[in-house]
Every structure is written in C-alpha cells, then in structure tokens.
Amino acid sequence: MLDRVTAARLIPLFAAAAAAVMGKVEGKGENWHGHVTAVTVAPEYRRLGLAQLLMAYLERLSEAAYDGYFVDLYVRKGNALAVDMYKSLGYVVYRQVIGYYTAGPGETSEDAYDMHKALPRDKEKKSMVPLPHPVHPGEQDMW
C-alpha cells in the first residue's frame, strides 16, 4: 500500500490508465449543476485516493469553470461502498429514484440514490435538502 504523498506523486503518471471520471454540466436557473456520469478505478489501484482526487477535480471544474450551484450523481442504492464514499466526500442522498437502473435479462431493477453536494454558489445549501419521499424516473426534473 502506497502512502498518500507517494500516491499523489504517482497519480499523474498512471491516472489516465487506472481511473476515469466522466461528467457534464446541465440544468437551468438554480438547477445549473455539475453531474458525475461515472467514476471508476481499476481494482489494483483502489484505496489510493484516486476517486477522491477525480471527484475533487470535477467539483472544482463545476465551480470555477461553470459556476454551478451543486454537483450531483446517481448511484445504485445497493452499492454501499460507493454511497459511503460519496457521503465521506460531503454528498447527501437528495432523493431515491425507484427502478432507475432497469433490469437486463435475468436481472432485477434497482433504485438509485441521487446524491447532491452544494457548491459555494448555493449559499443556503438548498440543493442538499432531501426530498421527503422517493420518486419515479418520470417524476424527475428534466435538466
């Protein structure tokens, strides 16, 4: 296991091959936000802080380059590891989306958590106030 300082020095060398983050900005008015489409780290490079680094990068970009109000992402409700990681990075479960992940052959559908983290532009952190009930995909805001 690498220590954090060594890992940070090595990250630029292998980050492109070991980990990836994909995102976009979307929304209108106070819903203008950065969206994390996917973050993944190769199994042999996990627990080095790469996901944390990539998330921080996307958050900085959403704030400094796009002046968004918040960052959001969807994660499988059953992916406890990822849900806990996002919580540790300051995200809250904003709402549960029923059957968001549709089932393939032999699979069952799964709910998603839509997780939010306010950026400084959202001074009152309104984007982090959870909805009181789950929603269906059709009820979601269309960004």
Q: How far is the CB of 29 from ligand COA (least distance, A)?
A: 26
DSSP sequence for 72-99: EEEEETT-HHHHHHHHHTT-EEEEEEEE
Segment near ligand COA (CB under 6 A); pick from 9-17, 43-51, 63-71, 129-137 = 43-51
Beta-sheet pairing, 92-101 with 110-118: antiparallel
Residue pair 35/22 in contact by the 8 Å Cβ criterion: no
CA distance 121 to 111: 29
Instruction: Provide the mask over 64-83, with x wherever binding to ligand COA is found by CB under 6 A and - wherever it is not.
Output: -----------x---x-xx-
CA distance 64 to 119: 10
Q: In the range 76-115, which residues lie near ligand COA by CB under 6 A?
A: 79, 81-82, 85, 88
Q: How far is the CB of 107 from ligand COA (least distance, A)?
A: 17
Segment near ligand COA (CB under 6 A); pick from 37-45, 60-68, 99-107, 118-126 = 37-45
The dihedral of CA 9, 12, 17, 18: what is its sign?
positive
Residue 58 touching ligand COA (CB under 6 A) = no
Binding site for ligand COA (CB under 6 A): 39-41, 46-52, 75, 79, 81-82, 85, 88
